[in-house]
Amino acid sequence: MRCLTVMKSGWHVNMSCKRRRFAAVIACVLPNQMFVFVVVALLTDFFGSVCGSNLTSFGEFQFELEPRDVIAAKDSGAIFNCMVRSSAQIDVEWLKDGAPVEYDDRRYKLQNGSFVVEAVEHLRHQRSDQGDYQCMATSRSQGTIISRKAKLQVAYLEKAFAEEPQSVSVHLGDMMMFSCRINGLPTPDVRWFKDEAELESSHSNYFIHYDNVLELRSVQFSDFGRYRCKASNKDRSKLSRNAFLSQDSDPSTYQGVLPRFIMKPRDTIALEGDTVVLHCGANGRDRNGAAPRLEWLKDGATLDLTSSDHHFTLEGQGSLRIDGVQGQDEGEYTCRAINMEDSVDEAVMLTVQVPPKFLLRPKSKAMLVNSDVELECDVLGSPRPTIRWLKNGYAVMMDDYVQMTEGRNLRILGVMKSDQGMYQCTATNAVGMIQAVAQLAINERKILDEDQLSTSNSLLPPPATDITAAYMSSRFVTLAWQYSNELQETMEPLGFLVYWKEKDSVRERVLNTSSIEASIQDLKPSTKYDIRVITYNAYGINNDSMPIAVETNAEDFVPASPVNVLATASSTTSVDVSWTPPPNLSDPITHYKLYYYNINDGAFEFDTNVTETRYTVTGLLKFSRYGFRIVAFNKNGPGVSSDEVTCRTFSDVPSQPPQNVSAEAASSTSIVVTWEPPPDGSQNGIITGYKIRYKQKLRGERSGNTVTTDGNLHFMELTGLDRNTEYMIRVQALTVNGSGPASSWAITETFLHDLDETSVPGQPTSLRVRAFTNSIAVSWTPPVEQDIMIRGYILGYGIGIPDVYSQILDAKMRYHTIKSLKSSSEYVISLKAFNNVGEGVPIYETTSTREESTPEPHTPMMPPVALKAIVLSSTTILLTWSDTTLGRSQRITDSRYYTIRYGTKVLTKYKMMNSTDLNLHVEELRPDTEYEFSVRVTKGNRQSTWSLSVFNRTKESVPTSFPRDMTPVAMEGKSTTVIVNWQPPRHPNGQITGYLIFYTTDATEPDSEWVVEEVRGDRLSVTIRDLTPETTYYFRIRARNSVGQGPMSPTVIFRTPRIDGTGGGIIETPDDFGPLNRLPVRNSWSFGHMQNSRGSTETPASASGMISSVVLWIIVGCIGGVMVVTAVIAAAVFIYCRNASAKKLMKNRDKLAEQKSKYGRKDLNPPDLWSHELTELTHTDKEFSEEAFDEISKQRPTDSERYHMGGSDSRYRSMSPRSVQMVSPGDKVSYHGIAKVLPRDAEINSVRTRSSSNSTPRVNAGDITQSSSGRSSKQPLLNITSSLKNSAGAIQSPVRPVPPVSCTPLRTPDVTKVDLCPHPLPSKQASTEELSAEMANLDGLMKDLTEITQEQYDC
């Protein structure tokens, strides 16, 4: 049974089982529960029991109600509630500031777990009840969890006001605002008084804002007087000082003046969901007597306060109210006061604080001992929350095996039983704390029960051998090993468990893989480790493994990274950087190196040497963001770089004016002004608006009028002008710091008469285009006929033809950008003006967009160096490299990652892989292929260029495809000779060293009975002689290289011609030809926490829940029923197959006996050769040695000798190897050849024979005479219990002498072509007596074969 899965509620049972042949499915339904078990049993010759199980239950254990913050008046009561949801009994205790609460009559715990403080104490010199309280719940079976912190705060009111009303003088009709602000808990209530009388917010001229600011909309004479405020809360009340509002009698400050603020907005920090009011008020009437107009901008764009969205509203005369503030509301807000004289701005920052929120909660997990586990946790909040991990209520102590990854996840390497318990992820920032609970259960590794293990030892996989450290570094080691599976057909594929631990450590880690190599990461330098590799399959684990000891390479001690790095802008061009030295210094710091770069362009990274822990970087660009990092140096060199911090220099006024300012008359009373922003490098901040100043040229006005627009608008229509009058116009750009330089004066004249709209506009005078990759910038000038009304422009464009798409543009616009275009395309642009009468004549222009390109970004990071490509196998290459920015420690402490690019010379596209380590296993490569590798590093928005490329070639592997297009062709004039042609395999995986051609006249025979023709080298044809005319032959072919043999090709059927040369040819293979035409299929499998061929890992799932013993007994009953039924079926099938096979064998013996009369015929499979020539081939699972191949070739006299390949079918694998006598021409020394049973599709290798004489042994094949005294007429095969070979592959010393025989060359097919008759002997005719003796010998051999086969079936 391969897998059995049972699921109910939170239960998950995962079981590994033995063999598979057919399936039986049973559903068991419990009578009183909606519960269905599905048992899938995959069986072989017998039904195996369940190999292992993993059953884990997670009970419910979490907080349902956590305590909340409490504000209590002194001597009043306070209560904290706590409710826990659990399936087991729990105990609840309380902590104050992390220590257990001491209960007494005043502070005690209720029966439901709540905590009560009857009379809150808050004394400076005595114990206070104020602090952080937590609820701690303990379950004996699961562990301990702790709630979030709840503050107990005592109510208070500050003695002094943070801000109180100030005396001021204003003009009648002006506005006035008073502020009253004091700190206290809870937030104080504020009331306003005028001349000791309380003001009501419902008064028509008064307005009291949400945050208690008093606003007078238009000051009347009755509003002058004395004002004060009163603040009160639970603690006490307090009155502010008096502020007097009086009348300003100076007329020079009343009209024709610039706007001036009477209350400016201030920087505000708000909690998400709160209501925020940014106050702004201004006075100062222009020459027309108009009061200033107040506008609000966010990040340079005007806020639309007239929309139906009530998120932003205007409160009072000009204050901005934001209800339910959200994180996206954070930014820079500008209050702008505008009149005809000028405009003034005041900018503030709104910071939104967000309590922690979970993006990812940790999940309960069940892990096996020695495995690695990572509990994930991710939160969102502002300021960024700090994540801490607790285990059973206590902080988790970090070390080499317990680590925080990415600043949020908890990783435990090589878990032990003591690691199980309740884990909590807590996230805390300035405005809140949250926590989430996960349970970690640790299970022992168990593959088989003890009673099963005793019966399965024979089926366990062999141990791994030759375990070596293929590559050793200071931080990782790559292992490689070998294994020999002698029972390939009867055993499941192997899996490997790699265990390693630090010497003398109790914590051991494990890695699961299906490959014969593994890379162990996260090791420590100069540290000894014990490593062992054990094998397993579905029958269990083979613990017979010899551990090896390795020691990682040494590293020079260099400083750790500096901490507490802080960068603060000190001016528009300088930043102050400070830091703290690295902890745990063993050698003194010689100096520091400060690295910084401009994030906006990243053209280059600058550095400077510093001896102190503070430095001011000067000469920076205005309003530019820079990145800073610090590296400490000691006598051994640079240490680990600190984390990067960023800082933006202060903004300033623009250093250049707006560009391309133009002014055109739109009518007799209006002018349209257009412009473009200042260059990017000269804006020095966010452009919050543009100030347009205009005046009549002839009047010589000094100041003129001023209009201010938004920062995102680039045109303005000036209205209310005089007819036929010249105007001078210039534009300035604004930031929060003020106005930049003004542009040159642009002069234009209004029309004498209003524009004519009785005819269509003329053609625009010019059209200019500028193409980019996906956009085109278009600019134009209006028609010459300026007295004709233009309502707008129609811009058309299309690929190859105009006006496929069109856009209607405002008449005031003079340029536009067409976006979302195709790259490398020719566009035709058209532009025409229109009015109410119709459309004018268009003007055309053609341009082509640029080609799509992905240029390498400018980056200050250096590419990795010392890239090495180490070949591990035919499909795997290990890459290692160094990063110069990490210093000599080469330890990664930030979020950088590396991208590896690799490919072959044939492929035009590269493949990419990412790695967070300084090494990577590149797998699934092609054998015997040269690859190119390069690597680059990425950190945040920085990226290096590609490193120098390295090249290496993978090792050879056995061919994975068969030779193609095999075509037998009869030789002209010879009906017994066939020429076989073919093409090489599609995937040779190395240099082809030869081919094996298999052919037979009986397609039902196993592969081991087919005649084999060997072709050396890369020849693509062979001539096969001595075939039988007018006979059907079946041909197959396989290729081999220096590693081994590839798969067998499909069968090609060919019929030899008649003796006269007519007929014959290729016969189409029938569709139902069966398995002979199929290719071998490799079994796919997985086991437990097995790493598959692609490098991914499959881990058995685990769940929670409980299951009763009754349910378990029902499961056992179901499985038992399946076992009984399937056992009966399997026994019946086995008996039937055995009887049928015995009958078939008897028929084959009769068939062979009938062929005795045809002894002189040149058949492919003569009976005498079938039994005598087993000695010519020996099956081996080892790799074929090219040196052994060459040695055999030297012993061959010719390439024409062929011997029949003997052996039995793979179904008879349990038959012991048999031997036949091998003798030399002399009679003093005899040799034993070894014939080992060959499986189907087995690799066929040549066998070297070693002799003490100069002659080569000859196989007695029955074609030579021998004396009657030398041997009996019936000579059985001699049983040899082991293949006696030496290390060179030669047969060892003789076993027993045999009578001498003569040696005659035999012209029969062979595989090995071993020279068994080195000297030619004179040919002679066999006499009748000799022929009769040989036939009697053949009959005896046939009887021996029948007895051996019958013994196999009786087993």
Among residues 97, 92, 122, 124, which one has the least CA distance to residue 108? 92
Whether residue 1030 has pLDDT greater than 50: yes
- Contact criterion met (CB below 8 Å) for 1161 and 1169: no
pLDDT band at 158 (very low <50, low <70, confident <90, very high): very high
Question: Distance between CA atoms of 369 and 39, rounded to whole angstroms?
Answer: 28
pLDDT, tens digit (0-9, with 9 covering 90-100), for 594-607: 999 888 776 678 89
Query: What is the predicted pLDDT for the residue at 1157?
Result: 39
Q: Can you tell me the distance from the alpha carbon of 713 to that of 441, in angstroms, rounded to the nearest whole number?
A: 62
Closest CA to 1259 of 1289, 1290, 1230, 1237: 1230
Give the pLDDT of residue 201.
73
Q: Which pLDDT band holds residue 778 (cuts at 50, 70, 90)? A: very high
The predicted structure's pLDDT at residue 583: 84
State the residue for tokens 């420690």: 889
Q: Is 587 left (phi over 0), alpha (psi -120 to 50) or beta?
A: beta
Distance (Å, whole) CA 261 – CA 279: 11
Q: What is the pLDDT of residue 742?
A: 93
Query: What is the mean predicted confidence (pLDDT) over 933-942?
Result: 87
pLDDT at position 1152 is 44
- Taking the CB of residue 628, how many other CB atoms lie within 10 A of it? 21
**Predicted local distance difference test score (pLDDT) of residue 495:** 86
Residue 858 has pLDDT above 70, yes or no: no
Which segment of 1130-1134, 1136-1140, 1208-1212 scores lowest on mean pLDDT? Answer: 1208-1212
Q: Are 632 and 594 in contact (CB under 8 A)?
A: no
d(CA 935, CA 879): 10
Least confident of 500-514, 572-586, 809-823, 1233-1247: 1233-1247
Mean pLDDT for 897-925 is 88
Task: Name the amino acid, one letter, at 1229.
Answer: V
Please say if the pLDDT value at position 361 is more than 70.
yes
State what percent of residues in the chain have pLDDT above 70.
Answer: 73
Q: Cβ-count burial of 924 within 10 angstroms (0-12 exposed, 13-18 middle, 19+ buried)?
A: exposed
Residue-averaged pLDDT of the chain: 77
- Average pLDDT for residues 483-498, to the nearest whole number? 66
The yes-or-no verdict on residue 455 having pLDDT over 80 is no
Condensed to tens digits (0 to 9), the pLDDT of residues 799-815 reads 999 999 999 998 888 88
- The band of 1329, judged by pLDDT with boundaries at 50, 70 and 90, is low
pLDDT of residue 655: 93
Contacts of 54 (CB under 8 A, 6+ apart): 13, 14, 366, 368, 443, 446, 1100, 1102
194 touches 208 (CB < 8 A): no
Quickly count: other Cβ atoms within 10 Å of residue 456's Cβ: 19
Containing H/E element for 1130? helix 1109-1154
Query: 1102 versus 900: which is more confidently predicted?
Result: 900
Does position 1323 have pLDDT exceeding 50, yes or no? no
pLDDT tens string 698-728: 766 666 888 998 888 888 999 999 988 999 9
Question: Residue 998's pLDDT is what?
Answer: 94
Q: Please count the other Cβ atoms lying within 10 Å of the Cβ belonging to residue 1139.
A: 11
Comparison of pLDDT for 295 and 25, the residue scoring more: 295
Token digits of residue 906: 């044939």
- Tens-digit pLDDT profile for residues 43-102: 333 333 333 334 456 778 889 999 999 999 888 999 999 999 888 888 999 999 989 998
* Residue among 552, 513, 509 nearest 923 (CA): 513
Q: Among the ranges 181-190, 885-894, 1258-1267, which has the highest mean pLDDT value?
A: 181-190
pLDDT of residue 1073: 65
Q: In this model, does residue 143 exceed pLDDT 60?
A: yes
CB 953 within 8 A of CB 929: yes
Cα dihedral sign, 840-842-843-849: positive
- Asked if residue 112 has pLDDT above 70, the reply is yes
d(CA 43, CA 20): 4
pLDDT of 610 strictly over 70: yes
pLDDT at res. 427: 95
DSSP codes of every residue in 1064-1125? -EEEPPPTT--GGGPPP-------SS-B-TTS-B-----------HHHHHHHHHHHHHHHHH
Q: What pLDDT was estimated at residue 554?
A: 84
pLDDT given for residue 1232 in this prediction: 36
How much is the average pLDDT of 242-268? 90
Does the structure show a pLDDT above 80 at 352? yes
Length of the chain equals 1355
Please enumerate in sequence order all residues whose Cβ is within 8 A of that of 425, keeping only pairs 6 or more positions apart, or say none: 361, 362, 375, 377, 387, 388, 389, 408, 410, 435, 436, 438
Q: State the pLDDT at residue 70.
A: 93
- As a whole number, mean pLDDT of residues 760-766 equals 93
pLDDT of residue 45: 34
The H or E element spanning position 1144 is helix 1109-1154
Per-residue pLDDT at 23 exceeds 70:
no
Q: What is the pLDDT of residue 1295?
A: 37
Q: How confident is the model at residue 895 (pLDDT cuts 50, 70, 90)?
A: confident
d(CA 1203, CA 350): 94
- Arithmetic mean of pLDDT, 777-793: 89
Q: What is the mean pLDDT of residues 1047-1063?
A: 90
Question: What is the arithmetic mean of pLDDT over 1017-1034?
Answer: 92
Mean pLDDT, rounded, for 519-547: 86
